[in-house]
Amino acid sequence: MCLKQKIVTEQERILQQTSKIQNILKKGKQEEKLLQYEIVRQQGYYNMLDKRARILTGLTEKDYNYILKNYTELILKFPKVKEKAKSRLQYLKSAQISKIIAIKGCSNCIEIVSKKLDVTENDLCENCKKFITDQQIM
Ligand SMILES: [Zn+2]
């Protein structure tokens, strides 16, 4: 193999690797976008055809419409997204519960939320549970 050929193959190799990396990044971005969509879908505040749902996802109109149209295929392509969205929502919910209880809760429940990371309304007394339902978290 002459030097010129060697250089060409080397360049091809680099190009191939770069496009591989780009594909992985693209896939990662797609999955991340689908996750943003799925979180809002699971929250269920709005029908996904509602414009407000798109705003909540933070996605561009183009990305949003793409996911809306291809949701079934995308979920099959990224099966972990549903579970990820669920745990992300649980995390958000318990963070919100902790925040509300820290302000309004009784001293007993304040102690509970300060110790437990994945707190749910079931950890709270009836009185503090009401604060959470009043705030209509999910
Ligand atoms: Zn309480």
Query: Tens digits of per-residue pLDDT, 103-123?
Result: 999 999 999 999 988 899 999
Separation of alpha carbons 120 and 116, rounded Å: 9
Band of pLDDT at residue 137, cut at 50, 70 and 90: low
Going by the DSSP 8-state scheme, the letter that residue 20 receives in this structure is: H
At 42 the pLDDT is 95
Q: Which pTM was predicted?
A: 0.72
**pLDDT tens for residues 49-88?**
999 999 999 999 999 999 999 999 999 999 999 999 999 9
Ligand 1 geometric centre to CA of 130 (Å): 9
Exposure string of 81-94, with b = 16+ CB inside 10 Å and e = fewer, is beebbeeebeeebb
Report how many helices (DSSP H) and strands (DSSP E) the chain contains, helices first: 6, 0
Residue 118: Cβ within 10 Å count: 12
Ligand 1 geometric centre to CA of 43 (Å): 25
Ligand 1 geometric centre to CA of 58 (Å): 35
Ligand 1 geometric centre to CA of 91 (Å): 20
Ligand 1 geometric centre to CA of 113 (Å): 10
